[in-house]
Amino acid sequence: MSDFTIRLKSIKNIQKITKSMKMVAAAKYARAEKQLKPARVYGTGALALYEKADIKAPEDKVAKHLIVGVTSDRGLCGAIHSGVAKTIKNEIANLTGSGKEVMVINVGDKLRGLLHRTHGKHILLNCKEVGRKPPNFSDASVIATELLTSGYEFDQGSVIFNRFRSVISYKTDQKPLFSNDTVSSSENMGVYDDIDADVLRNYQEFALVNVIYLALKESSTSEQSARMTAMDSASKNASEMIDKLTLTFNRTRQAVITKELIEIISGAAAL
Amino acid sequence: MLAARLFRRALPVLRQARSYADAASGAPQMSFTFASPTQVFFREASVKQVDVPTLTGVFGILPAHVPTLQVLRPGVVTVFNDDGSSAKYFATLAAESLSLSEDRRQSLNILVSSGSVTVNADSSVQLLAEEAVPLDQLDVTAARANLEKAQSELVGTADEAVRAEVQISIEANEAIVKALE
């Protein structure tokens, strides 16, 4: 009987914890979603050039790839980290299969943990302390700076993150990154007037920061909403377990009392 | 007689649809998007003209401007709406990005650019600034005070990194003061 009480107490504690985690995640989610709206306009504005000028990396010339995977440091948020890791692993397999070189930048410790054992030699940079506070523009610019000074000259790249769709759904998505060479040698760029190498370089760097910023914002909103759903179902499961355990506990207790009563009565009858 | 009847039947009366010529297609509208990472000012809005301070000078962008890419420098952005009213904003570097180390930024030239402007072939304009505030939210006395403080700091220090940072804030404050006067 005592192990029932111990189990019941511990499950009740867990339920309290998951409930409070859910409320914290709900508050953070509300704030993240509010900040996501302008960030989305900003990010899509930054990518507009590449879409409208229809810039594509030439298939044969591309030899060096870069993948930026955006997750965070903390778990208990459903399939957020594993989704991004799976996409990255598939990409690496495809690209190395066709003879291209790939390097990965991990934003978030969880991604590093998922990738470093099997794909350790593809990792270029790791970023920690992601997810504790909402991401801002300077975080994105730090990441972009480190990327540009790392010395890895990539021909094409992509940012893989979780795009926020709604409170209960998100989707792993990719946004492209282009190198300066690709952009300047793209055919539609001739339409654009008065561009010299310096201006293009500055523009590209700024666009890089913007894409990373968009990915960070979307990723953090998806993560908070996923954590909210995960903790919600954890609390529900815990309540279910508590109900079942309470029933079995009561049944056992009543059975013991009945047994004692029977012993007493049969003992008295024997006298 | 027969020939005439046949002749008449053979020639159907041709009706030609006649209509006015198509009106000349209207001037392409400019779809203007102006945003900072935390705030959206214009989102695919239709405006008449935008004045933008870039590294190579101040640009006036009207609909059907030739496509181009430019990098912004801290300064005043003026938006002229369709109805004739205008709104001014001050676009600059975000304060946090100033904390990046100087030599890093020099090598990347992120130092001077406070944003980017893209004019596309379909007459859409994207103006992205690291930070932008409407001009009426800036206080000229505070800007002057900051400017004097920055100028005295510049004289006082010899460290390259700090000098460069102070230089930016001097430029920004000067532009603010000039714009507000």
Q: What is the pLDDT along chain A (271 residues), one digit of tens a residue?
A: 688 899 999 999 999 999 999 999 999 999 999 999 999 999 988 888 888 877 777 766 667 899 999 999 999 989 999 999 999 999 999 988 888 899 999 999 999 999 989 999 999 999 988 888 999 888 898 899 899 888 888 888 899 999 999 999 999 999 988 888 888 777 777 777 767 888 888 888 889 999 999 999 999 999 999 999 999 999 999 999 999 999 999 999 999 999 999 999 999 888 8
| Structure confidence at residue A250 (pLDDT) | 94
- The alpha carbon torsion through A136, A139, A143, A145 (nearest 10 deg) reads 110
**Residue B78, pLDDT score:** 87
Chain A residues 58-97 with CB within 8 Å of chain B = none
- Give the closest-approach CA distance of A216 to chain B in angstroms: 12
Specify the pairing of strand B39-54 against strand B57-61: antiparallel
Strand partners, B125: B32, B119
Biggest CA-to-CA distance, chain B: 115
Alpha helices in chain B (DSSP H): 2-10, 102-108, 140-156, 160-180
ipTM (interface predicted TM): 0.78
Q: How far is B70 from chain A (nearest CA, A)?
A: 6
A53 reaches B (C-beta below 8 A):
yes
Q: Does B38 touch chain A (CB under 8 A)?
A: yes
Per-residue pLDDT tens, chain B, 181 aa: give them: 555 555 555 555 555 666 665 544 445 678 889 998 888 988 888 888 888 888 888 888 888 888 888 888 888 888 888 887 888 888 877 654 444 444 444 444 444 457 888 888 888 899 999 888 887 777 777 777 777 887 887 777 777 767 777 777 777 777 777 777 7
First to last CA, chain A: 32
B40 touching A (Cβ < 8 Å): yes
Specify the pTM.
0.83
Considering only CB atoms, A41 lies closest to which of B43, B116, B121, namely B43
Enter the tokens of residue A57. 């990396």
Q: Does B102 touch chain A (CB under 8 A)?
A: no
Residues of B in contact with A53 (CB under 8 A): 120-121
Which residues lie below 8 Å from residue B41, measured CB to CB, with a gap of 6+? B34, B35, B79, B89, B132
Long-range contact pairs involving B2-5 (C-beta distance under 8 Å, separation at least 24):
none
Chain A contact present for B98, CB below 8 A: no
> Is B123 in the A-facing interface, judged by CB distances under 8 Å?
no
Rounded Cα gap, residues B153 and A51, in angstroms: 45
Provide the shortest C-alpha distance from residue B155 to chain A (in Å).
28
Q: Chain B interface, mutation test: which of A35, A40, A137, A178, most B Cβ atoms within 10 Å?
A: A137
What pLDDT is stored for residue B9 in this prediction? 56
Helix pair B160-180, B140-156: axis angle to 10 deg: 150
Q: How many CB pairs below 8 A link A and B? A: 114
**Exposure string over B142-156, b if 16+ CB within 10 A, otherwise e:** ebbebbeebeeebee
Instruction: Compare CB distances from B108 to A49, A145, A191 and report the shortest one's residue.
Output: A145
CB contact B118 to A (< 8 Å): yes
Rounded Cα distance between A139 and A108, Å, is 12
Chain B contact set for A52 (CB, 8 A): 120-122, 124
Please tell me the distance from the alpha carbon of residue B66 to that of residue B120, in angstroms, as a whole number: 8
Collapsing DSSP states into helix, strand and coil, what is residue B129? strand
Model pLDDT, residue B103:
45
The one-character DSSP state at B165 is: H
Q: Does B37 sit within 8 Å of A136, measured CB to CB? A: yes
pLDDT of residue B101: 44
pLDDT at A170: 94
Cβ pair B108:A191 closer than 8 A: no
pLDDT attached to residue A233: 96
Tokens of B104: 């890093």
CB B96 within 8 A of CB A135: no
Q: What pLDDT shows up at residue A67?
A: 93
What count of other Cβ atoms lies within 10 Å of the Cβ of residue A4? 15
Cross-chain residue pair B109–A202, CB shorter than 8 Å? yes
The verdict on a CB contact (< 8 Å) between B120 and A205 is no
Give the bridge partners for A26, in sequence order: none
Sign of CA dihedral A206, A210, A211, A212: positive
Hey, CA dihedral for A216, A218, A221, A224, is it positive or negative? negative
Separation CA A17–CA A27 (nearest Å): 16
Instruction: Name which of A42, A29, A38 is nearest A209 in CA terms.
Output: A42
Which two structure tokens, joined as six digits, stand for A47? 């990518």
> What does B81-127 look like in DSSP terms, one character per residue?
ETTS-EEEEEEE--TGGGGS-HHHHHHHTTTT--EEEEE-TTSEEEE
Pull the structure tokens for residue A200: 């293009």
Residues in chain A within 8 Å Cβ distance of B123? none
Q: Using CA atoms, how far apart are residues A224 and A66, in angstroms rounded to an integer?
A: 27
In angstroms, rounded to a whole number, what is the distance separating the alpha carbons of residues A62 and A81?
A: 28
CA distance B113 to B54: 8
Secondary structure (3-state) at A260: helix
> How far B21 CA sits from the closest chain A CA (Å)?
31
* Cα separation, A82 vs A212, whole angstroms: 20
Residue B15 has a pLDDT of 59
Q: Is A203 part of the contact surface with chain B (CB cutoff 8 Å)?
A: yes
Q: Does B103 touch chain A (CB under 8 A)?
A: no
Query: Coil, strand, or helix at residue A135?
Result: coil
Helix (H) or strand (E) holding A95: helix A80-97
Long-range Cβ contacts of A112-116 (<8 Å, 24+ apart): A114/A81, A114/A82, A114/A85, A115/A69, A115/A85, A115/A88, A115/A89
Do the beta carbons of residue A47 and residue A158 sit within 8 Å?
no
Q: Write down how long chain A is.
A: 271
